[in-house]
A and B are shown apart, each in its own frame.
Chain A
Amino acid sequence: MINQIIILPIILPLIFAVTMLFFWRSVAVHRYINLFGTLVSLVVSIIILVQVISEGIISLQVGSWQAPFGISIVADLLSTVMVVITAVIGFATALYSIGTIDPDREKYLYYPLLQFLLMGINGAFLTGDIFNLYVWFEVMLISSFVLLVLGGTRGQFEGAIKYVTLNLLSSAIFLAAVGILYGVAGTLNMADLARRIPFVEQKELLTVVSVLFMIAFGVKAAIFPLFFWLPASYHTPPVAVSAIFAGLLTKVGVYALIRFFTTIFVHDIGFTHNLLLISAVLTMLTGVLGAAAQSDFRKILSFHIISQIGYMILGLALFSPLAIAGAIFYIIHHIIVKTNLFFVSGVVDKMKGSFDLNKLGGVYKFYPLLGLLFLIPALSLAGIPPLSGFWAKFVVIKAGLEVQEYFVIGIALLVGLLTLFSMTKIWNEVFWKDDPRGYENHLDESYKQITSTKKYLVIAPIVFLALITIIIGFYAEPFFKYANDAAEQLINSSVYINSVLGMR
């Protein structure tokens, strides 16, 4: 009976979204329901995590159709951890949105869309069926399309066209790959696939399918050379939307890559994982070099998403238990940190009315605490000890040394250094140098009208996420242990297979 609880992260956001639709005229009700909803989701996801840690993988056959014929919902350690992080970011974004989203967007169902987005993300993490994964990707993408254009400014549409086109293309490739895979293996249940793939005779066709999946998820994860939509679109919507996109959406792609290339496609590691390795190195490099050329706060951060995705893919491509644990740890750390950096960029924009580094300055002089709140995630992103990013990079690099990929490790270290350079650039331009308009405290006119309650609501999630970064940094041991356990579950897929296909 207890296994029914794992459907809740998917169904709760739907319930809250529908409740909001019933009160669709009253925006104030939306805010409270949204905040309450994300809090409930957070509590539920933590309960599930405790269950999964104590009892192992929990699976549920929806509608009592036996696996592999029906749809399986599976909560293993990786899925559950992702669901918990999603809930944390959902809660932080709910707080931040109340403080920053304008009434027009709120009126056009911003909050229900946020819940639908969370539903799609949780669904993608929890499903154990590839076609169902496709459906959750669509739920997530359609909500994100609307969130991206909500408000309808010129820049938003420009970004959305690129985002929508490339993501639809990737969905089409995904669907084609699903079709071929079903033809080759005769099943789409992930556990069943993991069991059957070693016995499939057409190994070449299987490799082709795996590359098709790599392209489809690669677009979503923004790996080289498929990342172009990301820096073209992520700086256009309101900051709360950019932040939740930056934190979660690409990571769903990374999650899918990790799931597919550890549990399912391990028949030709020499080819597929080498391809991933090359892509990871180029992703890291192009991302960080792209960031160095930018002078817009959010564009720099967007390019850094790409370079950090490279580290995660690197962990997957090295394909040792330690490396995959490193990739998982990296995802946890990166979601928290990147969302937080976007939040800070939004606060600076509210104060100074710009994201352009050339027009900004002097924030540290009048708001030293905000400077500190920027430094924590920024240094963590660059990998300065003892913050969370240091441990994440450390584990991936240590795993690389173990398998003697010295060239790749050299690149990874160089990219870390360049990341620090970018973060220093933001620090210098936004916080340290004087405001180009003079020595006084120049504030945007609209900032003076923001009530102090709203200001607290905006600062609260930043402090909350910064605290989590520090906790992960100082108490890395338990986090790493669970990342390690999750990697174990992925590599020894027999536990996963038995849990889903039932030896109950």
Chain B
Amino acid sequence: MMFSVILSTASRYLLPLLLIFSFFLLLRGHNEPGGGFVGGLVAAAAYALYFIANGVYEAEKLLKAEPIKIISLGLLIAILSTIPSIIIGQNFMTGVWLDINFPVIGKIGTPLFFDVGVYLLVLGITLKIIFSLAEEDK
């Protein structure tokens, strides 16, 4: 793989920006365009850019967790987000919302946690695919 100083430097600044943007998309979702799926893709794109610039080992080091762990965590959060609906005696997967408004985030409810699960799942699975292909390339 060709090493490019410009891309390598740029990716270091772009990574946090893209991650913040992905969080923005995640929180904006539900009622407006955005959500866990798009957010997860943007976050994965951020890491993918870093990997293109610096190679797969650097990218894996930066990520710290194995992609499969991120996938499992995402699925677990998505499953856990369905439990409150059962506890309060509603139908399975009914959205349960808190009445308090938080600054920046807005309302908090189980759909947000479900979206966080989707976010992690999409991030994990995209990175797993990218890293597997990259490692096979070597």
Chain A residues engaging chain B, CB cutoff 8 angstroms: 1, 4, 7, 11, 14-15, 18, 21-22, 24, 60-64
Contact = CB atoms under 8 A, between A and B. Distances in A.
Given A1-B89, A4-B86, A24-B68, A18 B94 contact: no
14 contacts: A4-B86, A4-B91, A14-B75, A15-B79, A18-B72, A18-B79, A21-B68, A24-B72, A62-B92, A62-B93, A63-B91, A63-B92, A63-B95, A64-B91
A245 to B, nearest CB: 25
B79 A11 contact: yes
B85 to A, nearest CB: 8
Given A15-B79, A22-B72, 5 more contacts: A4-B86, A14-B75, A14-B79, A21-B68, A63-B95
Contacts of B127: none
B44 interface: no
Contacts of A21: 68, 71-72, 75
Contacts of B89: 1
Contacts of A62: 91-93
Contacts of B79: 11, 14-15, 18
Given A14-B75, A15-B79, A18-B76, A60 B68 contact: no
Contacts of B132: none
A323 B71 CA distance: 47
Contacts of B93: 62-63
Nearest to A7: B92
Nearest to B92: A7
B4 interface: no
B9 interface: no
Interface of B: 68-69, 71-72, 75-76, 79, 82, 85-86, 89-95
A443 B69 CA distance: 43
Contacts of A18: 72, 75-76, 79
Contacts of A24: 68, 72
A63 B72 contact: no
Contacts of B94: 63-64
Contacts of A60: 91-92
A39 to B, nearest CB: 20
B97 to A, nearest CB: 13
A138 to B, nearest CB: 16
Contacts of A64: 90-91, 94
A448 to B, nearest CB: 36
Contacts of A1: 89
Nearest to A70: B91
Contacts of B90: 64
Nearest to A24: B68
- Which of B79, B89, B92 has the largest count of A CB atoms less than 10 A from its CB? B92
A443 B94 CA distance: 58
- Which of B69, B72, B86, B90 has the largest count of A CB atoms less than 10 A from its CB? B72
A341 B68 CA distance: 36
- 6 closest pairs, A vs B, by CB? A21-B72, A64-B94, A64-B91, A63-B93, A18-B75, A7-B92
Nearest to B72: A21
A9 to B, nearest CB: 12
Nearest to A1: B89
Contacts of B76: 18, 22
A331 to B, nearest CB: 28
A60 B94 CA distance: 11
Contacts of A63: 85, 91-95
B113 to A, nearest CB: 14
A18 B76 CA distance: 7
Nearest to A14: B79
Contacts of B85: 63
Nearest to A109: B68
A63 to B, nearest CB: 4
A53 B82 CA distance: 28
A64 B94 CA distance: 6
Contacts of A15: 79
A326 B138 CA distance: 58
A15 B71 CA distance: 13
Nearest to B111: A63
Contacts of A22: 69, 72, 76
Nearest to B75: A18
B95 to A, nearest CB: 7
Nearest to A15: B79
Contacts of B69: 22
B31 to A, nearest CB: 16
A143 to B, nearest CB: 14
A15 to B, nearest CB: 6
A64 B111 CA distance: 13
Contacts of A14: 75, 79
Contacts of A7: 92
Contacts of A61: 91
A146 B82 CA distance: 28
A61 B76 CA distance: 23
Nearest to B74: A18
B9 to A, nearest CB: 36
Contacts of B71: 21
A18 B85 CA distance: 20
A24 B70 CA distance: 12
A4 B82 CA distance: 12
A7 B82 CA distance: 11
